[in-house]
Structure 1
Amino acid sequence: MNLRKLKYFVAVAEVQSFTRAAEQLCIAQPALSKHIKELEEALDTPLFVRHSRPLALTDAGVFFLERCRYILSVLEETRAMTQKIGKLQKTFTIGFVASSLYTALPEVIRTIKQEFQDVEIRLQEMNTMLQIGALKSGTIDIGFGRLQLHDPGVHSEVLYQEPLLLAVPKNSPPLLSEPGAVRLVDIAAARLILFPAEPRPSFADVVLNVFKSVGLAPKHCVETRELQLALGLVAAGEGVCIVPASFAQLQRADISYLPLAEPEAAAPVVMNIRAMDNSPAICRIGEIAHHIYQSC
């Protein structure tokens, strides 16, 4: 059993056809069939139900496909990471979600640039979920997002729990404009404006999970593309919107920001790096990010 046979097996399993897989792999179908047969003999179990159309996997084949994908993914991550470490790094790419720029991230980036003056620091906006593939492929070296990832190839760490605020129109009903913190139960029936509508999961899901954590669910949700549109709808009296506290610096004369009472009403700022990436640069940047966010 070798990596080539694993790649051949995955190709056949994914297209559900020996013929199409052979064309995709640019090898003769009899040779491909022989490789798969040898793999099954080595495992002492059939991987395909050959009389089915399209070609189906046995239960053992389903399990083996999952493990093969993981093995090949780890191999690719290892290759990309080894190339990064083995070369004199002249550039360093930071992936980030747009909302993180309202937090301490700009200070983190400025500090990194001051300390790594001989390295070109590049910034690339991307949502948190896209950071998984970008880290594994080496497209980015570190990512800052709003969701804690659960992927064996990525180490995801919460740097800071940012309080959430409720954005309301200036002339809001008495319940929302009275002094003090607003309880989530008091706005569960309100028209709640969420952003972004896509891709998901996103900050919109962070807000929904905050309600879920206290046993609530908003009754009326409206999804919008981005923050400015959401705030515009709030100003127009179309509903209320929950935002990170750092967004309050976006001063608008027609919107008020109110604190939320529940301690669960917070959004994480998350740092994502490749699993087992202990390179000196990554370790130092992690230290910088921790120090700056801990002082928030």
Structure 2
Amino acid sequence: MEFQQLKLFLAVAEALHFGRAAQQVGMAQPHLSRAIVRLEEEIGVRLFDRTSRRVALTAAGECLREEAIALLQAQRRAQETTRAVGQQRRCLRIAYVSAALYLALPAALRTLSGGQERVEFALQEATTNEQLSLLAAGEIDLGIGHPPFETHARLDSVLLSNDRFEAVLPADHRLANRAAIPFADLAGEPLVLFPEAQGPALYAAIRDRCRVAGHAMRVAATAPRLHGQLSLVAAGLGIGLAPTQSRSLSVAGTVRMPIRPYPAALVLTLKALYDPRSRHPALPLALTALRRGVAAGKRSRRYAE
């Protein structure tokens, strides 16, 4: 069985039509049909049920489809890693959620770009679920995202931080002159949050805390990035929640306030995600730099406080 055979098989498995699949791979339909027949003969099972009206995968075909995808992804990873080592190229492809920009990622990039073994980067912002797909496809080397996420047997994660939230109020809000605010008081106010689809587990945790405090959560507005949320708070639309690590990000017309007592369920966890089979020479350096950068940032913040 060869990789080219698997590529042809996947083309038919995706299209479930020999004519369309043949067009996609640039091959005459009879040649593609013969290639699939040879693959079936080599394996010894039928991969497709064919009738004059439809083409469908058999149970064996479904099994091969999953394995073929994994094999071709592994082939791409092997090619990329070998090429990087052979060319002595140390470009690390990193995807991150916006919260990584508060502390973890900038600190790591400073360390890696200024060290003796200088590392180049290709950076892109992506949700945690998008990162899982990119890692599985071998399109990035390192992700920085928020759990919980579906456990993937071929991926490992490293805890970077567990951050708390602070309340962010309009400067002229009636509660803005307090030293601290209990979550129960926040729960009765209109909130400015991120879209639920962006972080469903955290969104649910906030909703549950409001319910425990005796209020139905009221979301006045949403924005996908913290800066947008703070701008909406400054406009007086509601109260926001901001990670403590984001204190360097401020918007005129807002006031930050600690939440006391703090609800234990409200935690913003950040993890590094990677494929343990990766042989990228810069990956261990990056994981170490991320952990050290977060630790140094925490020490600096405690000293400043």
* Structure 1 counterpart of 2:239: 240
Does the CA-based 8 Å contact 2:169-2:255 persist in structure 1?
yes
* Structure 1 counterpart of 2:81: 81
Does the CA-based 8 Å contact 2:81-2:280 persist in structure 1?
no
Matched, 1:271 2:266: no
* Structure 1 counterpart of 2:99: 99
* Structure 1 counterpart of 2:171: 170
CA separation of 1:139 and 1:66: change in aligned 2, threshold 3 A: closer
Does the CA-based 8 Å contact 2:165-2:242 persist in structure 1?
yes
Matched, 1:254 2:249: no
- Structure 2 distance, partners of 1:232, 1:265, is 22
CA separation of 1:186 and 1:52: change in aligned 2, threshold 3 A: farther
Corresponding residue SS for 1:166: strand
Deviation of 1:131 (Å): 4.0
Corresponding residue SS for 1:249: coil
- Structure 2 distance, partners of 1:251, 1:67, is 49
Q: Which runs of 5+ in 1 are unaligned?
A: none
Does the CA-based 8 Å contact 1:244-1:266 persist in structure 2?
no
* Structure 1 counterpart of 2:34: 34
Name which of 202, 206, 211 aligns with 1:207.
Answer: 202
- Structure 1 distance, partners of 2:112, 2:289, is 7
- Structure 1 distance, partners of 2:294, 2:240, is 25
Corresponding residue SS for 2:247: helix
CA separation of 1:80 and 1:225: change in aligned 2, threshold 3 A: same
Corresponding residue SS for 1:22: helix
What one-letter code is carried by the residue in structure 1 that aligns with 2:68? Answer: C
CA separation of 1:33 and 1:2: change in aligned 2, threshold 3 A: same
Q: How many residues align?
A: 289
* Structure 1 counterpart of 2:301: none
Equivalent positions of 1:129-144 (< 5 A) are 129=128, 130-132=130-132, 140-144=140-144
- Structure 1 distance, partners of 2:263, 2:108, is 29
What's the Cα RMSD here? Answer: 3.3
CA separation of 1:68 and 1:137: change in aligned 2, threshold 3 A: closer
What one-letter code is carried by the residue in structure 2 that aligns with 1:219? Answer: M
Task: Give the structure-1-normalised TM-score.
Answer: 0.80
CA separation of 1:259 and 1:22: change in aligned 2, threshold 3 A: same
Matched, 1:115 2:115: yes
Does the CA-based 8 Å contact 1:213-1:264 persist in structure 2?
no
Does the CA-based 8 Å contact 1:97-1:145 persist in structure 2?
yes
What one-letter code is carried by the residue in structure 2 that aligns with 1:289? Answer: L
CA separation of 1:227 and 1:213: change in aligned 2, threshold 3 A: same
Deviation of 1:278 (Å): 4.6
The percent identity for this pair of structures is 26
- Structure 2 distance, partners of 1:238, 1:271, is 34
CA separation of 1:82 and 1:215: change in aligned 2, threshold 3 A: farther
- Structure 2 distance, partners of 1:187, 1:36, is 62
